[in-house]
Amino acid sequence: MTTQTSCCGAAANKQDSDCGCEASSDDESAPAHGKCCAQGTATPSAAGSCSPKIGKIYSLKKNLLITLVLHALIISVWLNLETIADFLTYRVFGLAPGSHLAGSVHFFLKDMPFIFILLGLIVFWMGIVRTILSPRRCAKCWLEKTN
């Protein structure tokens, strides 16, 4: 089996290659050549030619659906934290409603998920904001305003 340098620079077996974009090379550091690599749209096809990545649309829809389902689950848990904490503290663990231990367990079960949900939402939305507002874009806007 001969090895080829794929578009990303990793060595791959010839029989496992995705499209005709890879350049055979004995030197692993040699850059790969091909129109697909330059366009960044290399996908497998029957003829070995490059075609647009149709899987990206499916992947985007799948990720969006997963995100929406997880957000719905988080919101439903958030709205029912008191009920869930009551059920776990008094029914599952069988603690007396007036005891200090029951109060501590109830507080922990009610507030810890709340804190983790808030923290997760902040991290998620800040990731979105950081994607949109890159440091380069912010620096460019800041420099334009100061000049």
- What pLDDT was estimated at residue 52? 54
pLDDT in tens, 100-110: 999 999 999 99
Distance CA 92, CA 105 (A): 12
User: In the predicted model, is pLDDT for residue 99 greater than 90?
Assistant: yes
3-state helix, strand, coil in the chain (%, to 5): 60, 5, 35
User: In the predicted model, is pLDDT for residue 36 greater than 80?
Assistant: no
User: In the predicted model, is pLDDT for residue 14 greater than 50?
Assistant: no
pLDDT in tens, 67-76: 899 889 988 9
pLDDT in tens, 83-93: 999 999 999 99
